[in-house]
Structure 1
Amino acid sequence: MTLTNSLSTDSTSTLPEGRVAAPAKTGFRPDIEGLRAVAVGLVLLYHAGITVIPGGFVGVDVFFVLSGFLITGLLIREAENTGRISLPNFYSRRAKRLLPAAALVLVVTALITWLTGAVVEFETFGGDIVAAAIYLVNWRLADRSVDYLAEGTSQSPVQHFWSLAVEEQFYIVWPLVLLLVLLVVRYTGAKLRPAMAVGLSFVAVPSLVWSIVATANLPAQAYFVTTTRLWELAIGAFVAVGAALWTKIPRVAAYVLGWGGLAVIVGSALVLHKTVAWPGSLALLPTLGTAAVIIAGSSGGSPGLLSWKPMVWIGGMSYSLYLWHWPLLIGAANLWGKPDALTGTLVVVAAIIPSWLSLKLVENPIRHSPAFARSVARTMTMALVLSLVGGAAGYALTRAVPQVETVSQEEVDGAAALKKGGDGQLQGIEVVESVDAMAPQPVDAPDDVPGAYAHDCQAPFDAVVPNYCEFGDPDGTRTVVLAGDSKALQWVDAIDAIAREKGWRLLVATKSSCGLYDAMPELEGRPYPDCQTYNTALLDELVEMKPTAVIVSQRHSQAIDPATGKLSQATMVDGTVRAWQRLVGAGIKVVALQDNPAPVGVDGDVYECVAEHLDQLSACAFDRAKGTAGSGTPAQLAAVKKVPAVKFVKVADFMCNEQVCPAVIGDVLVYRQGSHVTNTYVMTALPILRERLLGGTLK
């Protein structure tokens, strides 16, 4: 996001209407400052949760165009006046403008996160801060956005730095392209601006095409990466290249163009929603609208609203506002939960205070310092130091995670420590207050998953066609299929070990948030038709395949009743029964692996609770009855009663005693994200699972 103020803001006069006039000598354009105010206002209101502006994220696209326009204008004027472009001077100007405030905000953000954030996210967010300090955080966020296992991660306190990273990467590429253009002009005699337009096309056109393709196929990743955004900055650059043409536009036409462009920007913010795939072709609306406003202003047709003093004042502070508002919102969310619209608005308004202070006390003094103006080397040294300071703050945060001694999976007991009592029931599950060692560490729990995730064996939410991963013995004469949602996949490494021992061919056909049933589940408050379509296809294939057995598990106990549109356990039970009966009727054995109790009543995820309460682990235990009721078990048990041929395999008794479910058993952390079990604990339970799976149906 550009909020850089590259043009002089001195020597302005005031019009009677309260608007600021632009003196010809400085080239100051108050309408540009006003356009910045519109852009940052849209972003802030969107982040504050103002629902009437569901597309306020387009403010970032407005900033991209402004950045391309201002930076290219500076470079073109330098090339025309001197016949060259000084990269050291260019980068030193950028450093003075951007780094002082950014470094300050990164240090404060690390402190806010340490004071208010979840301990288990210190390492992730500290890494984000380091990446933000070197302007690569957009690629880090892009990787995380397509990582299923990262879905439980909160919003990064430096997530807004992604747009700054895009700009800085543009600032590296574009001046180099212009240097090549200057060489071509020098040796061919071509005119500078047309040659620049051609060079710019080689950046803009491929980026726009890729943006459309990537947004359609990889929307989460496409939002953050630089390659899908370069064309937006290029639009602003095109406007700068054609500057001489815009002054010839008739005043009336310029007014129409200016107001029309502003209407498109605001209209985009009012009509678009965060559910649309972005940027893609839709981003042409706010970007071309911004270009229209800039062009109109070049011919004196800028909307007068943009030149009003309050707008110019906000625009001049827009970079600081953008930097400060987001970590303050995240801090407020950490302390009091996700802010409502009123609280969010109060927070972003309060961000004016640190924004104004940092502008007056940090940004402007350094930017206008004679000492830095006289020495590029001194400026670049300052830039390096500030980058190191920001990165050091992030690194310090990653080291602030409390831990007990780290041990390997082989050094802990977990479920293997449990013994059978005289009545055949497992014994030995106790709630302890602390342990000297633990595996995995709480901070590592989200990554303690079966290897199947590395092979993309979990079908994504939008998958409608089954895709099988093969485990066990590929030459096995018996085929076993593991189906269901992620609560089935969490057991795959243990089942794979059993399959290899017994010579089974194990096929995995699990899908995110989609158990194997003939019913419509809910996903994030909405119907999940892709699940039902997937299951229809999977059941057809299983009946045709006729495996020896299908092992299933599921997280949810309710599905949408088609008659009422509401969630109903009876509907889920009936749908589960239909799916199981079809398999049993085809001569396929069905094993229902109990869904483990859900951590009902624990503040946050269990692993987060453990990280916060290493000396009071009882705070992270939960009631077994409530946990069972909040899991998929009730629907499973009800379905088993209607299809007695299905074998039900218990798991709750090696995770809970009769009353409670501890967070740590045998020095093993039991839970990772949500109600998922760590792979370490699953593997310690392998002997128990082997006995129960092979005790009847799957000999």
Structure 2
Amino acid sequence: MYLKEIQGFRVIAALLVAIYHVWFHRVSGGVDAFFVIAGFFLMHSFAKQERPGMAEVLRYWQRCLARIAPSASVVILATCVLFLTLGTDMQWSGWVRSAIAALLMVENWWLMRNGVNYLSIGHSPSPFQQMWALSVQMQIYLLLPLAVAAALAMLERMGWQRHRARVLAVVTTLAFAYALLKTHQYQPAAYFNTFARVWEFLAGGLLALIVPKLTLPRPHARILGYLSLVVLAGFAALIPVGNAFPGMAALIPVAATAGVIISARNGGDLRLLNNAPMQWLGNLSFTFYLWHWPLYILVWNRTGSPDVGLIGGLAILATAFVLSVLTWWLAERPFRQSPLVTGRPVLAFSVCALAMMPAALGAGLWWSDYTLSRQRAESHRQAVLQGAPAPALVPATLIVRDDIPVSYRDGCYQSGFRNSELVECSYGNQNGATTVVLAGGSHSLQWLPALQRIAAQVPDLRIVNLAKSGCTFTLSLDGISVDSDPQACLDWNRRAIARIREIAPRAVITTGTRVGPEGEILPEGYRAAWDALAGIPVLAIRDNPRADFDIAACVSRHGADASDCTLPRNAILRDRPFREENLPAHVVLADLSDAFCDAVSCAPTRDSFLIYRDSNHLTATYAARLAPRISAHLNAMRIIHMKFAGLISGATASGADRAATPRPQPVR
């Protein structure tokens, strides 16, 4: 079946995806339209066969691979070259892995595992992220034809051919219920989940079975078609639905796509879609979709801002169009018409695999370059940790994203968005007589490397880690926001406080203030949590500066001394964020702000050390460098007793810390 309106509709869907990405930074529903169309033609292809078998499945796979392989290979290869040569190296670690995932058509699963991880919040996206939709399609193309062929054959043997639409309607409903469940549980992961997306393909397949029975007068069909176009083009601009996909919100683009298909089948004659230019542009829609994203991310990567402006956005779309034309004429069109891919399936599959080899070579070369550069950077970092001078930036921007506390790697923190169960681990001496608890969110957890450095010199120090991503150590969320489910965060804190009282540690170490868009505050919920630990000393470390941009990326882009990467101190830190008389007697506030800022500004680097790994989290290396400062406070609180030896060249305690008295006063 060939419907001219659907060919033109592909152009609209691809253009909407690009426009919403480049200027609105949100989803458009265009990808959902692609999924419905794919399911529609898949089911139509198989349903017209009396007894579809493996031969029909192989031919379907052959057509799909011949259409996808050349353009995907060209775009992946070009993206590797672009970002290897023009992109900043800071995100190579994730990007090169994303390239491999795109090559293997598992980009969506890679994004589920890494792209929605808490550590990735605030980072610019992967230049291969658009490949998630193609990965979902390829996985569906692999599995769904087998399932459809088997189901149709079974229904024929049972004599239920006339019930095909009813059976598929039930299956589609169950698949949609699964999507709703996954969206409710954790929408960012559900968005990329193949099984949460399959209902959209099934909806297209169901439409293929029932649309021959749906008849409309031609004027009504035309109205339905144009109304569906308006809905698809505008609903995402008017309604904030991005966090509801692929659940209820996805019904809108699915229904709009169904409306266009029904209109086309009933002679709606949608001139906006079925004219000759749109038919030609339809050939480019897939490749245009693939090209627009890496071009947009390259501009974002070089400028540091997702806002490219009107002219910049138009330049991106125009470049994507030109590259789409070149890819179509030089790669996709001749490849699809080649006898090598239109003949025997085995030969066609082999040729398609060979067509992906340039992309594999590009990803492989990037991986090799990244691996060698990473080894050199890590060797330099380790040497500096052992006391060697730091003539170059430490850690190097190439490895800064991975310069994180060990708990992110061994799983010793609560990462579940709605999970409030405690995850507890110990570091240092597992049987040590001196126990301290590190409690809170990521801004508490970032001090673990410093405590581990102290534990290396205090043989009986045991560090119990209680951390939850996106949360903070508080009993109230009034006046603050968290990146975890609010109720789960509060429940986790109540459990953490109960567990701390059971442990009865020598001290609890946590974050003492909160730096947010409104500046620095000491939330009442923090005080309430400290009050709940009456009798247990609390070392509350003043929060470090936070930026509204990626500081590490700025350094990678502009250099360590760039003024663009420096923050004004008075806009971030208050002179007196807390008052001594308002604090419980067992709480000591540690002010380490001079490790980040001078009297005027807060720099991204200090003494060749890169302070931040993103917009607000410390690198593990810099946190470890501040171990003498933390040690001085623990000494003054009589938690430990030691004369600290500097861990890193230049990492000695400040004069104020060296002079700390046995009975410290809260820092003003």
TM-score bracket for this pair, using the shorter chain length: 0.7 to 0.9
1:213, distance to aligned residue in structure 2 (A): 0.3
Paired residue type of 2:145: P
1:123 maps to which of 81, 86, 93? 93
Which residue number in structure 2 is paired with residue 207 of structure 1?
Answer: 175
For 2:637 and 2:442, the matched residues in 1 are separated by: 25
User: In 2 relative to 1, CA 620–644 (structure 1 residues): closer, same or farther, beyond 3 Å?
Assistant: farther
* Pairing 1:122-141 to 2, within 5 Å after superposition: 122-141=92-111
TM-score normalized by the length of structure 2: 0.79
For 1:505 and 1:126, the matched residues in 2 are separated by: 35
Which residue number in structure 2 is paired with residue 62 of structure 1?
Answer: 33
1:486 maps to which of 427, 431, 442? 442
Which residue number in structure 2 is paired with residue 582 of structure 1?
Answer: 531
- Report the number of matched residues: 630
> Could you say what secondary structure the match of 1:86 adopts?
helix
1:390 maps to which of 341, 344, 359? 359
1:64, distance to aligned residue in structure 2 (A): 0.6
For 2:412 and 2:79, the matched residues in 1 are separated by: 37
For 2:604 and 2:236, the matched residues in 1 are separated by: 48
* Pairing 1:40-119 to 2, within 5 Å after superposition: 40-50=14-24, 56=28, 58-77=29-48, 79-80=49-50, 85-119=55-89
CA offsets per residue over residues 183-213 of structure 1, 9 Å max, x none? 4366x26365745863x45753442221110
Which residue number in structure 1 is paired with residue 121 of structure 2?
Answer: 151
Cα contact 1:44–1:325 (8 A) shared by 2: yes
For 1:313 and 1:508, the matched residues in 2 are separated by: 59
* Pairing 1:434-513 to 2, within 5 Å after superposition: 434=392, 442-454=397-409, 458=413, 467=422, 469-471=424-426, 480-492=436-448, 494-495=450-451, 501-502=459-460, 506=464, 508-509=466-467, 512=470
For 2:102 and 2:317, the matched residues in 1 are separated by: 21
Which residue number in structure 1 is paired with residue 191 of structure 2?
Answer: 223
Cα contact 1:252–1:301 (8 A) shared by 2: yes
1:228, distance to aligned residue in structure 2 (A): 0.6
Q: Which moved more, 1:688-697 or 1:391-400?
A: 688-697
> Could you say what secondary structure the match of 1:405 adopts?
helix
> Could you say what secondary structure the match of 1:365 adopts?
helix
* Pairing 1:2-401 to 2, within 5 Å after superposition: 27-50=1-24, 56=28, 58-77=29-48, 79-80=49-50, 85-181=55-151, 183-184=153-154, 188=157, 190=159, 192=161, 194-195=163-164, 198=167, 200=168, 204-246=172-214, 248-251=215-218, 254-255=221-222, 257-301=224-268, 303-336=270-303, 337-342=305-310, 343-401=312-370
Paired residue type of 1:358: T
> Could you say what secondary structure the match of 1:412 adopts?
helix
CA RMSD, Structure 1 to Structure 2 (Å): 4.4
For 1:231 and 1:464, the matched residues in 2 are separated by: 27
> Could you say what secondary structure the match of 2:514 adopts?
coil
Q: Structure 1 regions of 5+ residues with no counterpart? A: 1-26, 419-429, 560-566
1:533, distance to aligned residue in structure 2 (A): 5.4
For 1:555 and 1:455, the matched residues in 2 are separated by: 28
For 2:30 and 2:378, the matched residues in 1 are separated by: 48
Which residue number in structure 2 is paired with residue 564 of structure 1?
Answer: none
Paired residue type of 1:323: L
* Pairing 1:592-603 to 2, within 5 Å after superposition: 592-595=540-543
TM-score normalized by the length of structure 1: 0.76
For 1:103 and 1:193, the matched residues in 2 are separated by: 42
1:75, distance to aligned residue in structure 2 (A): 2.9
1:349, distance to aligned residue in structure 2 (A): 3.5
> Could you say what secondary structure the match of 1:49 adopts?
helix
1:160, distance to aligned residue in structure 2 (A): 1.0
For 1:68 and 1:264, the matched residues in 2 are separated by: 21
> Could you say what secondary structure the match of 1:506 adopts?
strand
Cα contact 2:439–2:508 (8 A) shared by 1: yes
Paired residue type of 2:538: V
1:300, distance to aligned residue in structure 2 (A): 1.6
1:403, distance to aligned residue in structure 2 (A): 4.8
**Percentage of identical aligned residues:** 26
For 1:660 and 1:323, the matched residues in 2 are separated by: 40
1:679 aligns with 2:620: yes
